[in-house]
Chains A and B, each alone.
Chain A
Amino acid sequence: MPVPLYQARVLVSLRPSVLDPAGEATRAAAARLGIEGVRRLRIGKAIEVELEAPDPAAARERLERLGDRLLANPVIEDWRLELQDGSEEGR
């Protein structure tokens, strides 16, 4: 029997207390484009993952370790996991 394949997305964002100069520069460019009213613009990362795992619990456990230990740096970033079964988790 083939090992199930899970689709997931890990969303990494800068912690609210961390300055985002690239986001600020992009926000300023939005105004130059003529789009008014952009009060806040923060740039993060969306990481798409396909993962083989025996069951959803194992998939979740591996993805959480991936988020915690590699994809995000907890000193400056928060992250959130979207697993394709529709559930969400993160911190």
Chain B
Amino acid sequence: MTVGIVVFPGSNCDRDVRWALEGCLGIPTRFLWHEERDLGGLDAVVLPGGFSYGDYLRCGAIARFAPVLEEVCSFAAAGGPVLGICNGFQVLTELGLLPGALTRNRDLHFLCQPQPLRVSPGPCTWLRSYGDEEAITLPIAHGEGRFQIDPQGLAELEDRHQVVLRYGDNPNGSVGDVAGLCNARGNVLGLMPHPERACDPATGGLDGRRLLASVLG
């Protein structure tokens, strides 16, 4: 069991994800530099938060062309579990593995706070150990987390139960209160909140542990 953690120039939560997986949960990890193409032996891949390539042009727009992501797309297409956190979520939408886009927060603030959320696991393998409509709290830390999609696109996501994480008291203006969504198959999850920052009793809540521990099956 090894989890790959993609490292772009500008990623800054890669070591947090490693600490959560290895230090808190005892799950081995391997860093994947953005130019790498070898995903051999990996059981899951995490795209961490940060500012990939400086978030130039748009968040995640340049990262989308990183060589490692071609392999991540093949990995996801084969059913491999892929998790995009914050900037990783933005990259997944730019890449087209998840629909919609993340735009500037409604009130312009960079939000850094504990955030109440509601989970509806649907088909999402990453969230299978959470109850339907379970209330949890995870930290958020983003300036561009306002999920945007046209009404028809949102309706399709709702029909397929792909909106798996919603804000209570929507902090950023996301349509449908979307905080996280998965693909139809359920193996790709993108979310703005940081589960890796809610795994260590030393730093507060533990609501992120079950999400990351789901890779253990």
Contact = CB atoms under 8 A, between A and B. Distances in A.
Contacts of A71: 57
Contacts of B107: 21
Interface in B86-102: 93-94, 99-101
A1 interface: no
A25 interface: yes
Given A71-B57, A76-B101, A21 B108 contact: yes
A84 interface: no
B61 A73 contact: yes
A19 B108 contact: no
A75 B149 contact: yes
Contacts of B11: none
A38 interface: no
B148 A18 contact: yes
Given A70-B57, A71-B57, A76 B108 contact: no
Could you tell me the dominant secondary structure of chain B's interface residues? loop
A22 interface: yes
Could you tell me the dominant secondary structure of chain A's interface residues? loop
Interface residues of B, number: 19
A27 to B, nearest CB: 13
A43 to B, nearest CB: 10
Contacts of A73: 58, 61, 94, 101
Contacts of A20: 104
**Considering residues A17, A20, A21, A70, which has the most beta carbons from chain B within 10 angstroms of its beta carbon?**
A21
A44 to B, nearest CB: 12
A60 B150 CA distance: 29
A73 B101 CA distance: 8
Interface of B: 57-58, 61, 93-94, 99-101, 103-108, 146, 148-150, 173
Interface of A: 17-22, 25, 70-71, 73, 75-76
> Considering the complex of A and B, which 10 residue pairs feature the smallest CB-CB distances, nearest first?
A75-B101, A76-B101, A21-B108, A21-B104, A76-B148, A73-B101, A21-B106, A25-B108, A73-B58, A76-B103
